[in-house]
Amino acid sequence: MEYNPIAKEEILKNLENFQKKDYKYEDGRILGSMCTSAHPFSKEVFNNFLDSNLGDSGLFKGTKAIEDEVIKSLGLLLSCKNPHGNIVTGGSEANIMALRAARNYARKYKNITDGEVILPKSAHFSFKKAIDLMDLKAIEADTDDNFNLDIDFIKNNISDKTIAIVGIAGTTELGLIDPISELSKIAFENDIYLHVDAAFGGFSIPFLKNCGYDLPEFDFSLKGVSSITIDPHKMGLAPIPSGCILFRKKEYLDVIAVDSPYLTTKKQSTLVGTRLGASAAATLAIMDYLGGEGYEKRAVELMDNTNFLKESLVNEGYILTVEPQLNIVSFNHPKIGADDLCSKLKKKGWMVSVSSYPIAIRIVLMNHIKKSHLEELIVDLKEINENI
């Protein structure tokens, strides 16, 4: 195939025309996303590190030291003084690494070859990918009428094939926090790996707790917790792709390491080979810049907006699925179904999503959604209600 060069201006114009078709966070219409506009400072730093490849970290020793610092800072945030882990592309990759560590550890030290994972029905679909990739068996724990995890189910389903239990700190659909301290006790007593998926909640629960919110323990302070997923590219305000996996013990990284003989580093534990140093640099920069104070202020603002939306919906006669614990509101109309309501909202320009368990409209109150946007949304919901 032959193709001729095109002038920069023309290329940029062409790309701009494509980009115009994208929804923009700033318009406040994206209501079902866990991502948001990254902080301008983290974008600036990200651009400075675009060429740094952590996949061959001996060539980028400085950037590798940055990654180590981020791991240390995130460890401290999650009550672990000496954590091990990596900055990865996001929650999916982190969850896959965690289950791979659990699987390999159980294979090496317990001789388990056909492993089972006990996980809540509310777990993110990335676990389905992990389970499929590693040919594991999933045992799904149900929830009660309030969508709380059935702890007895977990206890009753532990077997000599269980390689891991998974708990969620901020479920994707409802933002609920599983009873991680109970899971930790079960895991510790039975010597089973416990992975906590705090991809969503990791950058808000610790800060909200500091501000007096009554939220449960979920981190390494619980001795049964083996690893935690936390995503800087959600409420951490780092650019996509920035996820993180943290392990309590170095052995968990060692059991997933493969030889990379011709590289400057002779072992590699991450799934991805060539890997952006920019994500690590931008995450460190934004964490240092905002500090605990900056994240606390933002986490509280998100909860204020959550409460405002929740109360306004109730006033308009909409029905909440659960009392929000974090910044997600899930609701239904008393008469029409969630899909119907979703399409009526889409016609008015609101990009909402319908959750599957339970079936409901789900709004994630991310940083780009301001109170004024919510006021406009309520006006539209009121009008929808009046025309039914």
Q: Shortest approach of ligand 0PR to residue 282 CB, angstroms? A: 15
| Contacts of residue 121, Cβ cutoff 8 Å, sequence gap at least 6 | 140, 141, 142, 143, 357
The residue range among 27-35, 38-46, 66-74, 335-343 that interacts with ligand 0PR, by the rule CB under 6 A, is: 27-35
Among 236, 243, 277, 324, binds ligand 0PR (CB under 6 A): 243
8 A C-beta contact, residue 282 and residue 47? no
Which token pair is 53? 């490849």
Q: Does 37 bind ligand 0PR (CB under 6 A)?
A: no
Q: Does 354 bind ligand 0PR (CB under 6 A)?
A: no
Q: Which of 323, 307, 294 is nearest to 374 (CA)?
A: 307
Collapsing DSSP to helix, strand or coil, 276 comes out as strand
Amino acid at 353: S
Among 71, 199, 245, 338, binds ligand 0PR (CB under 6 A): 199
Q: Shortest approach of ligand 0PR to residue 302 CB, angstroms? A: 15
User: CB-based burial of residue 204 (10 Å sphere; 0-12 exposed, 13-18 middle, 19+ buried)?
Assistant: buried
Q: Does 219 bind ligand 0PR (CB under 6 A)?
A: no
Binders of ligand 0PR in range 43-72 (CB under 6 A)? none
**Strand blocks (E) in 121-242:** 137-141, 162-168, 193-198, 227-230
Query: What is the per-residue binding string for ligand 0PR in 84-103, x denoting contact by CB under 6 A?
Result: ------xxx--x--------
Which token pair is 381? 């919901």
8 A C-beta contact, residue 277 and residue 53? yes
The residue range among 195-203, 255-263, 337-345, 378-386 that interacts with ligand 0PR, by the rule CB under 6 A, is: 195-203
Collapsing DSSP to helix, strand or coil, 106 comes out as helix
Which CB, 56 or 197, lies closer to ligand 0PR? 197
Q: Shortest approach of ligand 0PR to residue 350 CB, angstroms? A: 14
Which CB, 102 or 384, lies closer to ligand 0PR? 102
Q: Does 126 bind ligand 0PR (CB under 6 A)?
A: yes
| Contacts of residue 13, Cβ cutoff 8 Å, sequence gap at least 6 | none
Residue 333 to residue 255: CA distance in whole angstroms: 49
Which CB, 92 or 226, lies closer to ligand 0PR? 92
The residue range among 59-67, 192-200, 208-216, 272-280 that interacts with ligand 0PR, by the rule CB under 6 A, is: 192-200
Residue ranges binding ligand 0PR (CB under 6 A)? 33-35, 90-92, 95, 124, 126, 168, 170, 172, 197, 199-200, 231, 243
